[in-house]
Structure 1
């Protein structure tokens, strides 16, 4: 197999992940025509078609799906090792791709990155907003952010935020038309503003647990569905139903009287946001510096 097939394989994996030549070309920093030529050369060298192209999207063929499944993780590991070579430079450098929810980006990542990045001008950070609990190895992310309970096996987890509780809230206008729920089971008869999860296309199931009791999962319904917690919150403020959102997100609106909190005793405490990455991967100097910048330090602890 020709030696330049590594470039072709990298291009193929990127197109398969993005489902688009346009997005893949932008991610790789090449033109669409150059990317298309690279893919065609790879397919010619292998003697088999790897991608099916339509006017709307691009998807792997059966052979392409098998190839992607078997090499995507290895390609990510090779990329990580190349990035790790920046340790031998005088200045830490490299690009770090992190997937997280918009709430984690706005409340945890961005405030600390705003102070971190000016100190290291050769380090680049790419933040990808995603509620899908992506496989960071397969999607070639360097790290992800999740609550502690959601960390996958085989990952190193670093706490970057305090414990977090969700809050069930609704507007005064909504409660003027509807009674307050007495238990989570009563939510099935309420209008609720839901969050769509991209992984399986389902709605986020609201999770409750009273101290000393069993966990209760409730599937709610309503007129509005969003794919962002911030819009879910806005729907509740506008009176379209109840919302179940991070407490820190709802607190200013509760304090201002725009929202009323209910079933507080049923909302469990989560173990806070964690940055996670594969434990088999030796982090680069840039990654180690970022981890230390994001690491959670309770007030009074340096």
Structure 2
């Protein structure tokens, strides 16, 4: 088999694995148009259609499914063989693609950037930071930092830091004017500062826990909706309304008297952040040293 034929087969397998030409193109570092041309050439040589393509979707034909089923274990074995050789390098090297929420990156990535680079100067951390809950496998990431409730069962999860609480807060002036809610459902009669999920457009429903009991949510309303949590605190500090945010983030403003915590008995603790990555037979060395470094730093 010529080198180009192997590359074409790998390109086909990557498209199937990632579900779209665009995602596969990112993984292979080529343009979607070049990748499409590669597949057309492969199909012409084989004399069968492997993929059904429209402007919006890609599906695998019966012939493509049969080919992928045979290719997948072979490619995995080749990748594992190369990884075994790379493990013999004197210094770990390569690129790690990471995804993290803004808070997760600020808490757990930003503090280790310098120390990790000094320890492993040949590893590149290619990091996407936003509040989109990304599909780590489908989008070609090696690992992610996210809340425990957002991690699927097929992922390895390493705990980072302790549990967290969200606490509702408002300025003393706001509470003097509008009164202090005694139950989370009283928030329906107040101006609340809302946060919207970027990828779905859905407004986050505030979550509370019955004292010693079950969790429930309240769909609050108010004059401001944001996609950046830092704006939530800014609005609350200016007296716009009530905000719900992480306890350690509001603590400095509570200590100086600018914000007052409310409904604390309804603010339950939840597991917090984890470093997660897909379960796999062979963990690449750069990922292995990164997870060990994070575990040693935050474990």
* Number of residue pairs matched by the alignment: 280
Q: Which residue of 2 aligns with 1:282?
A: 282
Unaligned runs of 5+ in 2: 44-48
1:148-190 per-position Cα deviation (integer Å, ceiling 9, x unaligned): 3433112211111121111212233433432221111111222
Rounded to whole Å, the distance in 2 between the matches of 1:183 and 1:83 is 56
Task: For residue 269 of structure 1, report the CA deviation from its aligned partner.
Answer: 1.0
Task: For residue 272 of structure 1, report the CA deviation from its aligned partner.
Answer: 2.3
Report the secondary structure of 2:117's partner residue.
Answer: helix
Report the secondary structure of 1:134's partner residue.
Answer: coil
For 1:1-302, what aligned pairs fall within 5 Å after superposition?
2-6=5-9, 8-9=11-12, 10=14, 16=20, 35-43=32-40, 45-46=42-43, 50=53, 52=55, 59-61=56-58, 81=80, 86-295=86-295
Q: Which residue of 2 aligns with 1:55?
A: none
Task: For residue 215 of structure 1, report the CA deviation from its aligned partner.
Answer: 1.7
CA contact (8 A) 1:83 1:94 kept: no
1:199-256 per-position Cα deviation (integer Å, ceiling 9, x unaligned): 4331222111133232221112222222222222222223322221111222222223
Once the two structures are overlaid, the 10-residue window that deviates more, 264-273 or 124-133, is 124-133
CA contact (8 A) 1:100 1:127 kept: yes
Rounded to whole Å, the distance in 2 between the matches of 1:130 and 1:110 is 14
The 1:184/1:13 distance shift into structure 2, 3 A limit, reads same
The 1:102/1:281 distance shift into structure 2, 3 A limit, reads farther
CA contact (8 A) 1:168 1:243 kept: yes
Once the two structures are overlaid, the 10-residue window that deviates more, 128-137 or 241-250, is 128-137
Once the two structures are overlaid, the 10-residue window that deviates more, 157-166 or 220-229, is 220-229
Unaligned runs of 5+ in 1: 53-58
Rounded to whole Å, the distance in 1 between the matches of 2:84 and 2:243 is 43
Rounded to whole Å, the distance in 2 between the matches of 1:182 and 1:210 is 13
Rounded to whole Å, the distance in 1 between the matches of 2:126 and 2:59 is 31
The 1:224/1:40 distance shift into structure 2, 3 A limit, reads farther
Once the two structures are overlaid, the 10-residue window that deviates more, 7-16 or 288-297, is 7-16
Report the secondary structure of 2:165's partner residue.
Answer: strand
The 1:37/1:289 distance shift into structure 2, 3 A limit, reads closer
Q: Give the 4+ runs in structure 1 shifted more than 6 A.
A: 11-15
CA contact (8 A) 1:84 1:283 kept: no
Task: For residue 281 of structure 1, report the CA deviation from its aligned partner.
Answer: 4.3
Rounded to whole Å, the distance in 2 between the matches of 1:227 and 1:283 is 35
The 1:17/1:175 distance shift into structure 2, 3 A limit, reads farther
The 1:184/1:17 distance shift into structure 2, 3 A limit, reads farther
Structure 2 length-normalised TM: 0.78
Structure 1 length-normalised TM: 0.77
Rounded to whole Å, the distance in 2 between the matches of 1:80 and 1:243 is 49
Rounded to whole Å, the distance in 2 between the matches of 1:83 and 1:168 is 48
CA contact (8 A) 1:211 1:265 kept: yes
Report the secondary structure of 1:180's partner residue.
Answer: coil
CA contact (8 A) 1:191 1:222 kept: yes
Specify the structure having the higher radius of gyration (Cα).
2
Task: For residue 139 of structure 1, report the CA deviation from its aligned partner.
Answer: 1.6
The 1:253/1:16 distance shift into structure 2, 3 A limit, reads farther
